[in-house]
Structures are given as structure tokens and as C-alpha cells.
Chain A
Amino acid sequence: MTGNELRSQAWIRPGMLQYAAGAGLGAAGYALNLVPADIAFGLSFVFGGYFAFLAVRLLDIGPATLAGAISGAAMYQLWGHPFASVVFALNIAFSAWMFRRVTRVPQIAEVVYWALFGVPLLWAGYRFGLGMNAASVNLVVVKQAMNTFLLSAFASATVYALIRVLQWSRRSSHLVRGRQFSLRGFITILIVAFTAIPLILSVVRATNQDQAQVELRAATLVDLGAAEMRSEFARVRAAHPLSFARAYRDGLVQGAPNLAAGTADAVFDAGAARYRWVDGKPGGEGRHFVIATFNLNDAPDATLRAARLWLPWTLVEREIEHVRSLGSVGVEPGYGRWPRHDVIPVSGDADAAAQTKAPAADAERRGIVLPDLPGKSLMQRWRAGAVFREVRFPEATDTPFVVHAGLAPQIGTLETSLFDTMLVATLLLFATPMLAWGLTSGLVKSFRSLPPRMAAVIDGRPEDATAERPASVFVEVSSIEDTMMRFSEAIARERAATANYRNRLEDAMHASATIFYTMRLRTVDPAFNRLARPDFVSRSVFEVLGYTVGEALEPDWFESHIHPDDMAVLYEELDRRDELLLREGRWRSALRLKNAEGQWRWMSSEMFLPPDAVVDADENTVEVIGVLTDITERKQAEEQMVHAARMADLGVMATGIAHELNQPLDIIKLAATNMAERVKDDDFTKEYVGAKLDLIVGQVMRAARITNHMRLFGRADKQPSTDIDVVGLLAEMSELLDSQMIGRHISFRLDLPEDRPVVSGQTNRLEQVLLNLIVNAMQQIEEMREGLPEDALRMASRITLRVRRAGGWVRIECADAAGGVDPRIADRLFEPFVTSRPEGKGTGLGLSVAYGIVKDMGGRLSVENLEGGATFTIELPAADPVTPPAREAAYGE
């Protein structure tokens, strides 16, 4: 069982029960969303969201999403647009997925959701779908993000508390054992609750003020006396059964239930309400549309200040339709073209409509255009009173209607410090849980509900992991405690074990069979690096090579102890070394050093540029770490393995080689017999004997070539690296191979390029690789063609060796048509002892050795199944990347 599978287990059993629970929680959320529970500064919808987040914690992804969709539907019903509902359902689905699959901290899921999806979706929906102005949308988005974050925290706290209560109710000893863990979790909850929540509420209040303070700046508002106000209110109420005023008064408008009957009167009495006429004047008939606006900052008490105009879209639209149906002229046609921050140019002046034919200029003349502050920050615009909530109602007719409700310059009543607080709160809101998380590692654990199976695996009881899950959630909750305790203990043990890690590492460094050293290399003028000397050499140089540290640090020690052949190679590589070190941070080579007893030891030489290496700016040097490891035994073993593989290939070819040698011997014998017959009969000429002797000498040379080739190929000693003419090498090899192929009835083709590419390396090594590939192909063909019909047999019995140039590389392909490599072992084909042959028929060494040889030559060996067979490709760096001479010139023809 994987970790994901473990974590995906929810508390309630999967299936219909989960969906039923999801539906139940969703229904609860839906119902509570409709309840006008404006508990604190507009924290409406709190219960709906809370239940949805409870579902996230308790249920699987699908059921939780169902709960979110159901509870979010209430918003659609209330507001009449689907944005909030869709975004909320998506939010719950994502949170549930994150919680089950990625993280056990729902708040992290919230942050990720809002960063990735919530902010862009909600912003786009409100800005483009509803046409709200950008500044207002920003506020809404921030508020919504914080709302859900808070609700998620509430839900987590509830579940956590539930666990505690369950444990206490069971008198569980885990409570005692888990004290430290519990304390941490509790502290975390406290931090979230008492730090973040008040800050969130401050932000919410700020946004509510944005909604509540309506158009004080607009000089178009008409101040009416309380009596007139009351009268107008009554008239509108009577005229428009579903007017704002009535809806507001009756508490139908979600979030504004406090203005029950009588409360509105109190507002009017306080002079805190104003009416605005879109067109017409107070008491006018049929030509006006009224929005009641309340200057709630002037309201007499806190209860009223808490109330605000929350515009429900459906009601607004209905009201507009109603006004239109009354035949109201409504608004002037030009409004739709006005700048974004324009206000509605209405006033008590009867000529207002006539004066606003040139709306923008007229509005400016009357000083009612609010400052537009392009390029200014949200805070600056807020402070200047230019942040507006804009509600735009698209019109099919020529009478676009725009309602602006926003903050006015008299924003002084909205303390600037409050906005500052809001920004700080926004930061702290997200930072606080993270901080708490970091400070108390128990936070993460406290939110995690690891099932007992994971604990079983950790404890080394895998058989228990497959046992049936405990039926009771209580058992599982208790075992979470156990698991966490075991985690804590394991971590403590690990810390204790690594307490003296550094000291032990240094001891190990000095005592190991590896020599460590440090050296400063120049980052400029790398040519000087040839003269670089180690600054430090570990004491293990004595164990490994028999020298003291002092000796190893002497000047010229390295030069006087390195094998002369390797010295030349090393000097050739030094430039590449510096480049690799500075670019990739690592360089590796192998060389021979003479030990104190005068024996050559193979050493693997590696140099590293530490990740935190700092270049000395004064001297342009950087310190690198070098490691020398004695690999003599490994080298010897490798050599033996290479030799063994080579001998194995030769063994496969022995019969063919014997045949190849027999041919010239046969001819020699026949020629000698013929000559002897003539001599015996005294029936010969000088020319005849001369021709026979020439023939015999020619055949002896032929046999000698074969034996020489075999001798060179078979010897184990290391040849120097030279330029290899690939075409020439294949030509020589074909002498050996032809008889093999003929004897095995295999068609052997060489497909060679016009030029003669050259690679660098040891000839017998490359030959070994080629021979191994060919022998493999031969064997494969012989094994697979048994029982094949003749045509198929002919098709299968062919091997093609193809040589091509590809950029700076030389590609040598060995292709057969013998069925290809078994896909089951294709990935491991170049590992030692991997073979597809029947037991006893293959050592499994050949290809791994070939792979190593090609890699040592700086190339690659790969295989793919093509055209019914396997194609092995050797890619080697060309030693003559410049365009070579034409074929004729190369052959000297």
C-alpha cells in the first residue's frame, strides 16, 4: 500500500455513506447560508463554508465536493449570479484533493488554491462577468480568500477538538502520552484564532465600509428632512413592492437584517439616510428611480453602523425592470460612455437632466467627478476616496443604467489606520499559520490523521498493515497518537545518532582507504593550475600509499609518483578538468601512483567544487576537494573480466578460426603433393616449381596473418591509445569473420562510408566490442532459425555492419534480423550477467564489457529493436571531425 493510498482514506467509510454525509453537510451549510446570521461585520455565509470545510476534513474528495456544491448553491439563490457558487465549489473540490493527496494542512491547500485558481477566477468573474471596477474586485477577492482561509481553520480546529474530546471521553492514556504534542497543536490553534481572526475581522469591516458608505461625494444626493425621508420611503415602498427600501426594511436582503421596521425610522431620524434620484425629484411621479442610501457613519449606534447596503443582484435587476415597466425615463442615454469613476449626475435641480447632455464636461463643471488616479496603488486610491464599488447593468435598450456606490472623499471616517491594518492582516493571515507551523512541528502532525496501517509499516509489522481497518473511528484516532509518538521517538533517536556526525566524518576521512585533499585552483589563467599543489592531504595517504602527509605535500611529489603514461594523459585532460569542474562541479579520472613500496596502484581521482565554494576575489582562486581512491583490485578484476569476455568470444569462433587456418594449410599440402609427384617423375620445370613455391609462401603468409591477428586480439596487456581507422579495422576483421559466416550460412554485409572515419582508442578493445556484437548476432541467428521455412531462414540469416559519420561522431551499427532483444531484459542488457541465452550458453559478460569499453572511449553503446531484429549502435567521438579526404585519395588510388 502506498503512502497516497494510505492518506486517501477518509474517516467515514467510502461509498454511499460518504456521499450521504456530504449531502447532509452541504444541506446544513445551505440552510445556514440562508439564515440571516450576520454575526460579525458581515461574516455571512460563515456556516455554509464551515460545513463544507468540515466535509473536506472528514470525507473523501467526491463527497466533500458535493457538500461544497450544495452549500454554495445558496449564494446563487441569493445573488442571482453563479460566480461565487462555482468558485466556492471548485475551492472545496481542490481543497479536498489537496488534503487527501498532497498535504494534511488544509490551510496550505487554501493558500495554493487561491494563488492558483481562486484569485484569477473570482477576479475575472466579477470584473468581466459583472463589470465591477477593478479596485472593488480586489477587495472582494481578498475578503473571500481570507474568509475561506478562516473557515478552513475553524473546521480544522473543530476536528482537532473533536479528537481531544473523543480521547478524553474514552479516558485514553494517549492523552497523557501525547501531552507535548497536544500542547503544540493547542498553541497553534490559539495563534490562529487569536492572532489571525481579529485581523481578518478588521479587513472584513474595511470592506464592509466600502459597501456601506454610499456616494457622499455625489453632490447629487438630496438631503431630506426626516419627515420627507419617511414619506418618500413610504411612497417608494408602496410603489415598488420589492424595492430596495422594502427589501432592506424587511430584512430580505441578505446580510442586512438589522433594519427591521422601526430601525429605518431611527436612521431617518438621525439624518443618516439620503435619497438619490436618478431622474426627477422628490415626490415626482413615475419618473424616478430611487436608491436609498444610508450614511451609516452618522448612524446613531453601533448596530446601525453594522448595517449596510448589500446589493443583491437579482433584486436590483428586478427593480430596474419594475421602474422601466412604469414608463420611467430613468437615466440619460450618455451614462454608459462616462469614465469609470463618474457618478450619476442627478440632483434636485429640475433642469439636471437637460444640463447633463454633455455628461463628462457637465459633471466636471459641477465638481462631481471623482478623482481618477491612474497608476496609483490601491491604498493611494483608497485614501483619495477613489475606490468604488461599481454595479453595471447592461442594457439592451438605449438607456444604460449605471449605479455607482463607493467611497467618497469624506473617507476620513474610514480610518486610514484601518486600511494599514488590513494590509498587515493580509500578510499575517497567511504568514501566521506558516510561522506557527515552523515553530511547532507538531502543527503539521496535529492535523495529520495517519491511519494505523502506516504505523504498522513504520513499526515493522507489515502484516498488520493489511489487516482490516478498525471499525471505530476512535481506535483510529488513538492510533494516530501512537504513530506520532513513534515518529517523535524515531526522530529523537536519529538526532542523537547524528549528534557527532561531523567528528565521525572527519575520523572516517582520515581512517578510510580514500585520500582526501583540497587545492586552490585559479578561475582565470587556468594554465597555472598545472602548478597547483594541495593545501591539505588526509592522513589516510599513509594507509593507502605509505607516505606521510608531509611527504605528500612536498613540491613535485605528485609528478614524481605518477605513472609516466598517465602523466601525459593527465596533462592533456587538465584543461578539460578545469572547465568541467567550474561548469558541472565535478571531474573524474583514473591514474596510477607509485606507493612507498614501489608498486603502481590504480587510483580513481575525483575533484569536486563544493556547492558553497566562494571564489577568492583577490586571487581569483577557488578551493576544490579532491578524492583519491585505490581501485587497483577493481581495475585488475575489470581487466580479467574484459579478458574473460574476449576469450569467450574467441571460444565461440574457435571452430571457424580452425577452418580458416585449415584452408591455407590444405592448399600448401596439395601444392606440395603435386610438386612432389612431378619431382618424383622428374617432370617439372623451374618455372613450375617457382610458381608452386610462390603459392606456398602466399598461403603461409595468409595463415600467419590469421594467427597474428588472433594473438593481438587475445593478448590481455593494455595497448596504447591510437587513432583507429574504423574501415580498415573492419576490413581486417572480415578476414576472420568471412569463414565464420560461411560456415554458419549467414549473410554478412559491410556498409561502409565513402571516407574513412577515425576514432581514438585501443584497437583490440574496439575490435573486441565489434566481435562481441557480431558473435552475439551469430548466436542469436543460429538459435532462432531452427525450424524456420527457407524464405524466413534466408531473411533471418543476415548481419549488417554499417559505419556512418554523424556530426562529430562515428556510428557503427551491427544489425541482425533475428527477432530482437527480449523486452523484459532490454533495460538491463548492458549489466553484467544479464543474458537472454539459455543457461550455460552465455556468460552475460560480453555486452557489459563492451559497454564499459565504449564508455571508456568516450562513446555510447545502445540497442533498439528494428526491422525484426536488434540493432546495436556504437557511437564514438570522431578523432578527425574535419571533413576527411575523398575515398580515392584515402585509398591512394
Chain B
Amino acid sequence: MSTDNTSHETDEHGHEHHEVEGPGYPTPAAMRTESEREKTAYVMGLRVGMETGGHDFVGVVDLDPDSDTYSELVDTIEMPNKGDELHHFGWNACSSSCHAEGLSRQYLVVPGQRSSRIHIIDAEDPRDPEMVKVIEPEEVFEHDLSAPHTVHCVPGGKIVVSMLGDADGELPGGFLQLDQEDFSIDGHWEADRGGMAMNYDYWYQPRHNVMISSEWAAPNTYYPGFDLDDVEAGNYGDSIHVWDWETREHRQTLEFGEEGLIPLEVRMSHNPEETQGYVGAALSSNVIRFYEGDDGVWDWEVVIDEESREHDDWDMPVPPLITDLLLSLDDQYLFFSNWLHGDVRMYDVSDAGNPRLVDQVWAGGPFGERQQVQGHEIRGAPQMLQLSRDGRRLYWTTSLFSSWDNQFYPEIAEEGSLMLKADVYPEEGRMELDEEFLVDFGDAPGGPARAHEIRWPGGDCTSDVWQ
């Protein structure tokens, strides 16, 4: 079957899945081995803070190597308003609803990080998505929430969006729950926010009744740009939070302190039996592993500790700034990006608590030798990652966030950012930049754009959760 299909026949996958047609795959291995190569990517394209301005869009990139338009931006779905800052996005349904007959992975939920506007896009035809609904900011503010970020569908017909601020862009934010059928707002997901002071990304492991959320800062703090004074004032996060998935109550705070400043993306093992995961602490540039102990209490340890580097043009050592990380569907490899250094790293995590660096690719940034691909200047550095389901192709974009881009890689505002790719050889534990692949969002129709999160129709390494 085509990987672009939005539903999957699962009647051949064992005793628990007879005659069930749901929106995903019964196991992570089924998704890894029974899907074909990705043929299409949806990429967030944004024009907030760009020199020429314009509307943000969902970009459709052709990833079919047999196509005449391979490695090109073949369509853009423009947002009706300006100023949204499209950032992360998700599906109405994923493998967590594998048993939900009649449900399909059809609708993209596309929030505006700055506007707090939420767009619903019908992607039933993967190459011809269309906007079907817009939830205006005022409807979101009514629930005293703003700054939508991570979107996951959850079993029981709901969609939960992490929200980083209140209606004034101040702390603490919370979680907004949408109805999976008509995308109306139900209200807050959480029943008791407990010690959650800040919010950012989240992941859940329903078999173990747990959700983990991370921390960035108040929108009023991170929206305008990165100011060291805010770090010194304690305005940035340093903790993750453990939630009871069923009762929706905050259970535990894991406070990292200096070792875990700005913990962003949360990636738990895809294997639904596992009770562990990783979070990238962007500013401390540590990868922290969190896990459930025998007593049911969660603990953490720094498993990768990166060093800052001296650079002639900088007054102080440059931190790597781990801005994104992901796990391959077989949970064997961890990839992450160092946005201020310019490299993507690949770690063997088959021994989860002892990651082993196996390879890295340099592209852009202040330290790498490779500053061009196909004659195009690499504007920015490796940032949002997405891995093919079979674990053989790693794609990334080079923009982080409009206001932070404008401080650290100002050329993106004038000429747009890029999407790049490396071929991954999991059997050999290595990867290589594919110089034949390049999507320059500087050439986007309607003017240069930043490129951010990437997803495949049919699900990917950061979209799906298993029951």
C-alpha cells in the first residue's frame, strides 16, 4: 500500500487486531516494516518576521524519487491571516486509535504559535489538502489559554494541544482539548495542574497511564527573542512533569536545575511496553533520560552532556543548543540537532541509559565546513528533524523560531530557510548528507519563507503513540 494512505488494513496483524480498520498501525514495527517509502512531506512554511512578510502556509514537498518534481515544493496551502507563526502540528487520529473503526488519519490540526489561531486542514487527498475550519484566537482565549504547540490525538475521540500561556501570554498555560469529530473546543484537558509552572511539548504512554510534559517559558518571555537576562531571572524552564493520564492530574515534577535548562522535545520509546524516554535540554545542551522506577516514582539522569565551543566571533563559548530530537521506530537510534553548532548527531540507544555516538553530519552553522548544498548557502543549521518510517532517511529544516532566527541567523529573514536530507544506514550505524536533495524555501511561491516541522501522510516517528 502507498505510504500516503490515511488508513491501514490491520486484519492480518495478529489476535488483537482482527477485522479492524483504524487510522494507524498495530505496532511500531508494523509501521516501520509494512509502510512504503514516504512520497510526500507536509512542512510548516512561515513568513512571520520575514523581510517581505506574507502569509504562512502548509507546504507540500514531493519526496517521490521517481517523480519529475522530486525534492520540490509542489503546493502551498496559505493561511487566511498573517502573523500565525505555524510551528508544530498533528493529526486528528493516529495509531493510538488503531481499534477505532471508521476513524481515519485525515485532518491536520495546524496551530499558529503567535496568533493562537488553530487551522483544520483536510488531507484526505495527500497531494491536495484543503482548509476546512479555522478556530479563531478569541475562542481559545476564552479558556484563558494561548500559544498552542504540540498536537496529539488521544484515545476516546479527543485531540489535546499543549498551550504555553494564558490569555495574556503569561504563565502557566495548560492543555486545550478539542473534539475529534467537529473540532469544537471542549475546554481544558487537565483536571489538576498541580506543580506545572510552564508548558511546552508532551508525550504519553497510555499502557502505563502516564504523560510527560516539558517547559519552555511564558510566551511573553520567549516570543520577543532570547534574552540572557531572562535566563538569569529564572524565566526559562528547567523541569518536566509527570501526569496521571487517566485522572489528568499532575503527579510529579522532575527538576533538572542547571543540568536541564529549557527542556524542549519529549520523546518516549515507541514500544508501548517501555516506561522511559528522552528530553533535549536546549540551553544546557544535555540529553536527559527519564524513567519509571520499580516503586512507580519517576527519576532522571543526564545521558549525553555536550560541551560549548569557543568561536572567534562570539564573546562567550557557544552552546550547541539541542532544539529537536527523535527516536527511530525501532527505538534503536536517537537523532538530535545542535542548532547553534550546525550538526545532526546519531546515537545508538540500544542500551537506553548509555547512548553511544555513532555518526554526525555537519551542515551550516558557525562551525561546519559545509556551508552550501547545490550552490545554495545553508541559511540556519539543522533543527526540526523527521525520520522515514524505515529509519533510512533523515530530513531536517533549518529555522527555529522567527524571533530567535532573527537574532542568530538573520539571513533567514531575507532569503528563507532550507530542507535537507541525509541517507541513514542503520545496519552500519552511519549517515551521509544526500547532496541531491534540497528544498530552498527562499524560492517558495509568494516569497521566501522559514521551514519548520515536517510530517508524512500516514504517520511518522513523532506523531504516533501505541496503546
Tell me whether A and B are bound partners.
no
Question: Which A residues are closer than 8 A to B by beta carbons?
Answer: none
- Which residues from chain B sit less than 8 Å from chain A, CB to CB? none
